[in-house]
Structure 1
């Protein structure tokens, strides 16, 4: 097992990792980069019900270290990024698109819209991404645990009140310590979060109004 030199990561500081061939590592940014998207089966879009409520889904806010297109890793409390890999768009943007897809295909009681669409809606869903990283909790050469945390706040604009809030914590163990396995685990965590968020939002809205 060879030791990589320390790599500057801006405000995150310098990080060094032990690597073996085929495992996740940190390398200079000049290395070739593979672009990834979040994957998952999405059913066909369902027609909204007659009493469907329009809901605005805001863009997801995130701390600076996660609001990027890099794949985040966590080792001994230090945040770093996967070498040779990046998201197709910043992580919050990919997650926002995935959540919209799930709402469109699984919640006929709700009509999701982007905040910039300019439509009128009683409810607004505010989302905050707090964790979205592969945590090496069992050592550098073992499959990491994907940790995802999303905080949701549902605003009732008609009543000018917070209708409900909830924190979603999802953990998925990667099948091994390779890029493809980590990306698949990130996708599983994202899909589980999107489904849980859609179910919870539907329950809150339909409890307050006819759906």
Structure 2
């Protein structure tokens, strides 16, 4: 018997009303019996702008992050042994992983006060650059240790909209040791990791885009 509160990754997604998932945060949703209890975690990401970030006069659109189906899920993935991916039993994210990353980035750019305009690609605004993301890992991994580490890996491409030129391409990785096997601690580690990687992404995008803009201002 596994010592982790896990379920096979092949099981279907947890089906919960969207309104309840947003409203409950990290509270328990109780069903008709104890076995149906589900705890939902909703990371809150707030960044602190770096004074070294440039203030830019161009606009940016964020393309909805892509991810493999097993990654883009409200289930909380865990790798108890190498090559084996499972999900924690009785817990869930309030949103699929790509939605959490997308929301965190939009809010972070807006709160930074360093950019003229930022929006999701679906809004149809005229932008100078777009940021395309591929979420490659969003899981806890034991790696042979008694407690897991929260892993987040995102590949980012900054693209100049007019000529569709890739200005820069970089993969961002965050590892946050959990310190215990408790799912609440796992969720907190992901929140810290998401905050850190979001901060890195915002700073990199502003700095890289501004350098490109200054290199060819009339482009």
The bucket for the TM-score relative to the shorter chain is 0.7 to 0.9
Q: Give the equivalent residue in structure 1 for 2:151.
A: 147
Contact 1:39 1:184 in 2 (8 A): no
Counterparts of 1:38-53 in structure 2 under 5 Å? 38-42=43-47, 52-53=57-58
Q: Which sections of structure 2, spanning at least 5 residues, go unmatched? A: 13-34
**Structure 2 CA distance for partners of 1:61 and 1:51, relative to 1, 3 Å:** closer
Aligned to 1:78: 84
Q: What do the CA deviations read for 1:97-117 (whole angstroms, capped 9, x no partner)?
A: 011111111251352210110
Q: What is the aligned counterpart of 1:65 among 70, 78, 101?
A: 70
Report the equivalent of 1:190.
194
State the TM-score, normalizing by the size of structure 1. 0.80
Asked whether the 8 Å contact 2:60–2:131 carries over to 1, the reply is yes
After superposing on structure 2, the runs of 4+ consecutive aligned residues of structure 1 that deviate more than 4 Å are 1-8
C-alpha distance in 1 between matches for 2:162 and 2:87: 42
Instruction: Say if 2:150 and 2:189, in contact at 8 Å, map to a contact too.
Output: yes
Contact 1:127 1:152 in 2 (8 A): yes
Measured on the aligned residues, the alpha-carbon RMSD in Å equals 2.7
1:136 Cα offset (Å): 0.9
1:108-151 deviation line (CA, Å, top 9, x unaligned): 13522101101111211000000110001134xx2201111100
Structure 1 contact 56–125 (Cα < 8 Å) conserved: yes
What runs of 5+ residues in structure 1 fail to find an aligned partner?
13-29
Tell me how far apart the structure 1 counterparts of residues 7 and 203 of structure 2 sit (CA, whole Å). 42
- 1:133 — aligned with what? 139
